[in-house]
Chains A and B, each alone.
Chain A
Amino acid sequence: EAGVVQSPRYKIIEKKQPVAFWCNPISGHNTLYWYRQNLGQGPELLIRYENEEAVDDSQLPKDRFSAERLKGVDSTLKIQPAELGDSAVYLCASSPSSGVNTGELFFGEGSRLTVL
């Protein structure tokens, strides 16, 4: 069974440029999460989707970050414009709805962003 697929794996951009990350969750998982992980830190939730609906975006910096999950499957996370402090690994995870209770999330390998 295919896991969570993310692209690109690595991205280097100049500050003020836009960047987008894509995530394809495990088939049948209706909950999708975007996390940000800074070096030496644990992941921090940016946004959680239940199907197409964003049910928790309280930690998403809405002035420059946006996300969408069309048709309740794939998702895209966008940053525009990027700042130096946005350098991090952006992790996508998915789970069945029960994952909110069980805590069993399935993570992708992440997209490492470097902003110069």
Chain B
Amino acid sequence: EDQVTQSPEALRLQEGESSSLNCSYTVSGLRGLFWYRQDPGKGPEFLFTLYSAGEEKEKERLKATLTKKESFLHITAPKPEDSATYLCAVRANTGFQKLVFGTGTRLLVSP
């Protein structure tokens, strides 16, 4: 069964304090790994798609990387507005190729 595990569950940073979020996955034939951001009371917002090991994507202070077993979301010099829950999802090459989401990492950036 396809599984996605995110760590840590929650992370508190000071403004400017860089860190990384982890997403480890077990999937039969990865067809894509996706990062989303979710603000309280809102739906998830798409950030990145990664398809193969070694691939990297960047957007402002966020950089996503992918290996054969995990992905990292690096946050450089975060600001309070980066506070949100970050969700990781995978799409497998089986069944209906649906997205399987992890439980997310709640990030709080304090000024």
Contacts and interface: CB of A to CB of B under 8 A. Distances in A.
A58 B95 contact: yes
Interface string A44-85: 110010000001101000000000000000000000000000
Contact of A103 (B4, B42, B89): B89
A45 B92 CA distance: 14
B49 A102 contact: yes
A107 B43 contact: yes
Contacts of A107: 42-45
A42 B101 contact: yes
A91 interface: yes
B96 A104 contact: no
A40 interface: yes
A103 B98 contact: no
| Size bin of chain A's contact surface | 20 to 34
Interface string B46-63: 100100000000000000
Contacts of B104: 42
Contacts of A40: 103
A18 interface: no
Interface in B10-45: 31-32, 34, 41-45
B95 A103 contact: no
A103 B99 contact: yes
Given A102-B49, A103-B49, A103-B91, A110 B97 contact: no
Interface of A: 4, 40-45, 48, 55-56, 58, 91, 93, 100-110
10 contacts: A41-B103, A42-B102, A42-B104, A56-B96, A56-B98, A58-B95, A101-B32, A103-B34, A106-B46, A107-B44
Interface of B: 4, 31-32, 34, 41-46, 49, 87, 89, 91, 95-99, 101-104
